[in-house]
Amino acid sequence: MVEGNGAVSLILVSHSGEIASGLAEMAAQIAGPTVEIVAAGGAVDGSLGTDGGRVLEALRAGAKGAGAVVLVDLGSSVLSVRAAIAELTPEELEHVSVADAPLVEGAIAAAVAASTGCTHAEAARAAEEARNVAKL
């Protein structure tokens, strides 16, 4: 790891600003202060929806150093992330992984993985393993 890279960061994309920010708070409590978690939830006016510009801004900001893992909720969140990914340079793309994972469990798993100093691809895999963990 290059010096000063720090831990992988998380980008949480949800239709709801409150889901994204509440989950960021929850994941930060479990993972500790070394992992930066960016909440990109809600539409431009704060209503339910996604803000493509904000998602792109978050991805661009995260696409350096140790990189970022992106978690999404449903439908157009996925489309917003796809659209933002299409705007990134090949070099930026090397610093970003999108996790195909349930949002809450995936964010917790990725945040704790990130806090152990893993790569963004490993954090995404940790999130994706959440699909196989039974709740009951």
Partner 1 sequence: MSPSSDVRIERAACLPAEVALHARPAGAFVRAASVFTAEIFVSANGRRANAKSILDILSLGAEGGAELVIDASGADAAEAADSLALLVAALA
Cα–Cα distances (Å) from 24 to 19, 78, 101, 132, in that order, read: 8, 18, 16, 22
- The answer to whether 10 touches 36, Cβ cutoff 8 Å, is yes
User: How big is the site for partner 1, counted in residues (CB under 8 A)?
Assistant: 15
What is the maximum span of the chain, computed from C-alpha positions, in angstroms? 42
Distances (CA, A) of 108 to 57, 73, 78, 119, 127: 23, 14, 19, 16, 8
Judged by CB, which is closer to partner 1: 10, or 31?
31
Residue of 5, 4, 3 lying closest to 67 (CA atoms) = 5
Per the structure block, which two tokens stand in for 5? Answer: 């890279």
Instruction: Specify the stretch interacting with partner 1 by CB under 8 A; choose among 6-14, 40-48, 56-64, 126-134.
Output: 126-134
Q: Which one, 56 or 103, has the nearer CB to partner 1? A: 103
Position 63 contacts partner 1 (CB under 8 A): no
Confirm or reject binding of residue 30 to partner 1 (CB under 8 A). Answer: yes
Residues 73-112 that bind partner 1 (CB under 8 A): 105, 108-109, 112
- Closest approach, Cβ 46 to partner 1, in A, equals 28
Helices (H), ranges, the chain:
17-31, 52-62, 76-87, 90-93, 103-115, 120-129
The single residue among 15, 115, 123, 125 that binds partner 1, judged by CB under 8 A, is: 115
Instruction: Name which position in 1, 18, 32, 44 contacts partner 1 (CB under 8 A).
Output: 32
CB of 113 to partner 1, least distance (A): 8
Q: Which residues bind partner 1 (CB under 8 A)?
A: 29-32, 105, 108-109, 112, 115-116, 129-130, 133-135
